[in-house]
Amino acid sequence: EAQVTQNPRYLITVTGKKLTVTCSQNMNHEYMSWYRQDPGLGLRQIYYSMNVEVTDKGDVPEGYKVSRKEKRNFPLILESPSPNQTSLYFCASRVGPSGANVLTFGAGSRLTVL
Protein backbone atom coordinates (compact mmCIF):
# COMPACT_ATOMS: atom_id res chain seq x y z
CA GLU A 1 0.00 0.00 0.00
CA ALA A 2 1.29 3.44 -0.98
CA GLN A 3 1.73 5.42 2.18
CA VAL A 4 3.67 7.84 4.33
CA THR A 5 4.64 6.36 7.68
CA GLN A 6 5.52 8.43 10.71
CA ASN A 7 6.95 7.27 14.02
CA PRO A 8 6.27 7.65 16.82
CA ARG A 9 2.57 8.42 16.62
CA TYR A 10 2.54 9.71 20.19
CA LEU A 11 5.38 10.96 22.33
CA ILE A 12 5.67 12.73 25.64
CA THR A 13 9.10 14.10 26.42
CA VAL A 14 10.79 16.71 28.57
CA THR A 15 12.39 20.03 27.68
CA GLY A 16 15.86 19.68 26.19
CA LYS A 17 15.80 15.97 25.44
CA LYS A 18 16.69 15.49 21.79
CA LEU A 19 14.19 13.57 19.72
CA THR A 20 13.65 12.50 16.14
CA VAL A 21 10.36 11.89 14.39
CA THR A 22 10.89 9.60 11.44
CA CYS A 23 9.04 9.80 8.13
CA SER A 24 9.23 7.24 5.37
CA GLN A 25 7.38 6.98 2.06
CA ASN A 26 7.24 4.01 -0.30
CA MET A 27 6.11 5.85 -3.43
CA ASN A 28 9.52 6.99 -4.73
CA HIS A 29 8.39 10.58 -4.29
CA GLU A 30 10.94 13.34 -4.78
CA TYR A 31 9.27 15.99 -2.63
CA MET A 32 8.74 15.65 1.11
CA SER A 33 7.63 18.16 3.71
CA TRP A 34 6.92 18.58 7.41
CA TYR A 35 4.03 20.52 8.91
CA ARG A 36 2.84 21.26 12.40
CA GLN A 37 -0.80 21.67 13.24
CA ASP A 38 -1.95 23.82 16.13
CA PRO A 39 -5.49 24.81 17.16
CA GLY A 40 -6.63 27.96 15.41
CA LEU A 41 -3.51 28.11 13.24
CA GLY A 42 -4.05 25.33 10.73
CA LEU A 43 -1.03 23.57 9.27
CA ARG A 44 2.22 25.44 9.01
CA GLN A 45 5.17 24.27 6.97
CA ILE A 46 8.40 23.59 8.88
CA TYR A 47 10.82 22.29 6.24
CA TYR A 48 10.59 20.74 2.82
CA SER A 49 12.87 18.78 0.52
CA MET A 50 12.80 18.77 -3.25
CA ASN A 51 15.06 15.73 -3.49
CA VAL A 52 17.94 13.90 -1.81
CA GLU A 53 20.33 16.32 -0.09
CA VAL A 54 18.10 19.29 -0.99
CA THR A 55 16.21 20.85 1.91
CA ASP A 56 14.77 24.29 2.55
CA LYS A 57 13.00 26.20 5.29
CA GLY A 58 9.27 26.58 5.44
CA ASP A 59 7.44 29.18 7.47
CA VAL A 60 8.30 27.97 10.98
CA PRO A 61 11.73 26.26 10.89
CA GLU A 62 13.09 27.58 14.20
CA GLY A 63 14.00 24.80 16.62
CA TYR A 64 13.89 22.06 13.98
CA LYS A 65 16.35 20.30 11.72
CA VAL A 66 15.83 17.87 8.89
CA SER A 67 17.94 15.66 6.68
CA ARG A 68 17.35 13.91 3.39
CA LYS A 69 20.07 11.33 2.90
CA GLU A 70 17.80 8.87 1.15
CA LYS A 71 14.82 9.48 -1.08
CA ARG A 72 12.37 7.58 1.08
CA ASN A 73 13.25 9.09 4.48
CA PHE A 74 12.88 12.61 5.83
CA PRO A 75 13.37 12.71 9.61
CA LEU A 76 12.43 15.74 11.71
CA ILE A 77 14.91 16.45 14.48
CA LEU A 78 14.26 18.51 17.59
CA GLU A 79 17.69 19.07 19.11
CA SER A 80 16.41 20.73 22.29
CA PRO A 81 12.62 20.53 22.44
CA SER A 82 10.69 23.23 24.25
CA PRO A 83 7.04 23.32 25.38
CA ASN A 84 6.09 25.57 22.45
CA GLN A 85 6.92 22.67 20.16
CA THR A 86 4.05 20.68 21.62
CA SER A 87 1.98 20.06 18.54
CA LEU A 88 0.63 17.58 16.02
CA TYR A 89 3.18 16.95 13.28
CA PHE A 90 2.51 15.74 9.76
CA CYS A 91 4.90 14.52 7.12
CA ALA A 92 3.81 14.58 3.49
CA SER A 93 5.22 13.66 0.10
CA ARG A 94 4.40 14.07 -3.55
CA VAL A 95 5.91 13.07 -6.88
CA GLY A 96 7.87 16.21 -7.75
CA PRO A 97 7.70 19.52 -9.61
CA SER A 98 6.30 18.00 -12.77
CA GLY A 99 4.00 15.58 -11.06
CA ALA A 100 0.48 15.92 -9.81
CA ASN A 101 -0.02 18.45 -7.06
CA VAL A 102 -1.34 15.85 -4.66
CA LEU A 103 0.31 15.64 -1.28
CA THR A 104 0.03 12.34 0.56
CA PHE A 105 0.09 12.87 4.31
CA GLY A 106 1.10 10.58 7.10
CA ALA A 107 -1.25 9.88 10.00
CA GLY A 108 0.45 12.40 12.27
CA SER A 109 2.70 12.39 15.33
CA ARG A 110 1.39 14.01 18.48
CA LEU A 111 4.26 15.43 20.50
CA THR A 112 4.01 16.80 24.02
CA VAL A 113 7.01 18.58 25.55
CA LEU A 114 6.80 19.05 29.31
Q: Which has the closest alpha carbon to 80: 8, 20, 36, 17?
A: 17
Q: Does 90 bind another protein (CB under 8 A)?
A: yes
31-70 footprint of another protein as x/- string (CB under 8 A)? x-x-x----xxxxxx--x-x-----x-xx-----------
Based on CB atoms, which residue is closest to another protein, 14 or 74? 74
**Least Cβ distance, residue 39 to another protein (angstroms):** 9
Min dist. Cβ of residue 3 to another protein (A) = 10
Q: How many residues bind another protein, per CB under 8 A?
A: 27
Closest residue by Cα to residue 109 from 32, 7, 14: 7
Q: Phi and psi of 84, rounded to 5°? A: -75, 0
Choices 20-28, 61-69, 79-87, 97-105 (CB under 8 A): range interacting with another protein: 97-105
CB 32 within 8 A of CB 25: yes
Query: What is the nearest approach in angstroms of another protein to the Cβ of residue 82?
Result: 23
- 11-86-88-26 Cα dihedral, nearest 10 degrees: -60
For the CB of residue 74, give the shortest distance to another protein in the complex, in Å: 14
**CA angle, 66 then 70 then 71, to 5°:** 100
